[in-house]
């Protein structure tokens, strides 16, 4: 991997890298914040998965997470949301399909399957690359994300047993098989088999008895996508039916934006730090 940018922040370094992805068959870019503690020791990692239309740049410039990561001694890894490049399939007129909308699945349908292998990228290829090349602890990681990335964080934690010490999300798409965003992307990437869709749906995974990792979710009550796209109540009901631990905090007056995320990101990172340092 090649470092293409480096900025000092809060005693640590916000770096940007590019590499040729074996999973996605294209050049991928991601950002990493290394706290000051990483100068002398290996540190635990929190992976952040971003939402529709985003790249790695949104969270690193808008969330204010690096200040808290520096205080807590956490590395932050912030991948892109989809494959990129001239050869990568896209629907340029749409924001919710194609580039910027990888949905963290392994696509099975043409033309998407050639590049859209984002689940393998974020759960296997990227962690292996990070652990090999940067001063981070091996297999000591947590995961979080926003909206489509909240969906991604939840399914990664539910599907990959013992891979993550903790999981959290802001405004996640909790039941994508009944969400217009999920239905559009799943039908394109995964085809008509809705049983396959369910293997990338947090609510359906919990119903099926997946790895029931405790989760923390923050949801704004004034989120414009709450009623038609997100369905946190479905995930909460599925968790409670399994007698598993879910903390769903309804934050009065907050919307779907990074104003909301930046307000509570410190609490999420503290939640992960506690789990990672046990």
CATH of the domain at 267: 3.40.50.1820
pLDDT in tens, 258-268: 999 999 999 99
| pLDDT for position 270 | 98
- Nearest-CA neighbor of 220 among 250, 191, 197? 250
| pLDDT for position 278 | 84
| pLDDT for position 90 | 97
- Count of beta carbons in the 10 Å neighbourhood of residue 76: 25
pLDDT in tens, 81-92: 999 999 999 999
Please state the domain count of the chain: 1
Which residue segment(s) compose the domain that 245 sits in? 2-277
Q: What share of the chain has pLDDT > 90, as a percent?
A: 99
* CB burial readout 96-118, b (16+ within 10 A) else e: bbbbbbbbbbbbeeeebeebbbb
Task: Give me the mean pLDDT over the 9-29 stretch.
Answer: 98
Q: How far is CA 192 from CA 17, 48, 196, 204, 206, in A?
A: 36, 30, 9, 17, 22
- Which band of pLDDT confidence, cut at 50, 70 and 90, is reported for residue 121? very high
Which residues are known catalytic residues?
Answer: 147, 223, 256
- Which band of pLDDT confidence, cut at 50, 70 and 90, is reported for residue 6? very high
User: Is this prediction's pTM over 0.85?
Assistant: yes
């Amino acid at each position: 991997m090649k470092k293409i940018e480096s900025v000092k922040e809060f005693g640590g370094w916000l770096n940007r890298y590019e590499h040729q992805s074996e999973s996605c068959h294209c050049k991928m870019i991601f950002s990493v914040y290394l706290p000051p503690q990483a100068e002398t020791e290996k540190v635990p990692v929190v992976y952040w998965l971003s939402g529709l239309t985003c790249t790695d740049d949104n969270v690193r410039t808008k969330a204010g997470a690096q200040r808290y990561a520096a205080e807590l001694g956490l590395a932050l890894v912030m991948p892109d949301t989809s494959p990129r490049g001239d050869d990568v399939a896209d629907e340029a007129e749409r924001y919710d399909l194609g580039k910027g909308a990888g949905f963290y699945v392994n696509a099975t349908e043409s033309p998407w399957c050639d590049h859209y292998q984002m689940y393998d990228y974020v759960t296997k290829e990227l962690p292996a690359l990070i652990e090999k090349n940067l001063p981070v602890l091996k297999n000591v990681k947590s995961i979080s994300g926003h909206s489509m990335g909240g969906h991604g964080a939840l399914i990664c934690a539910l599907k990959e047993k013992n891979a993550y010490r903790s999981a959290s999300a802001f405004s996640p798409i909790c039941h994508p098989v009944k969400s217009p965003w999920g239905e559009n992307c799943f039908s394109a990437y995964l085809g008509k088999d809705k049983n396959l869709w369910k293997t990338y749906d947090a609510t359906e995974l919990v119903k099926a008895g997946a790895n029931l990792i405790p989760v923390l979710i923050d949801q704004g009550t004034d989120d414009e996508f709450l009623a038609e796209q997100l369905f946190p109540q479905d995930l909460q009901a599925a968790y409670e039916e399994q007698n598993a631990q879910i903390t769903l905090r309804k934050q009065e007056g907050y919307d779907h934006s990074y104003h909301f995320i930046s307000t509570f990101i410190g609490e999420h990172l503290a939640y992960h730090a506690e789990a990672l340092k046990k």
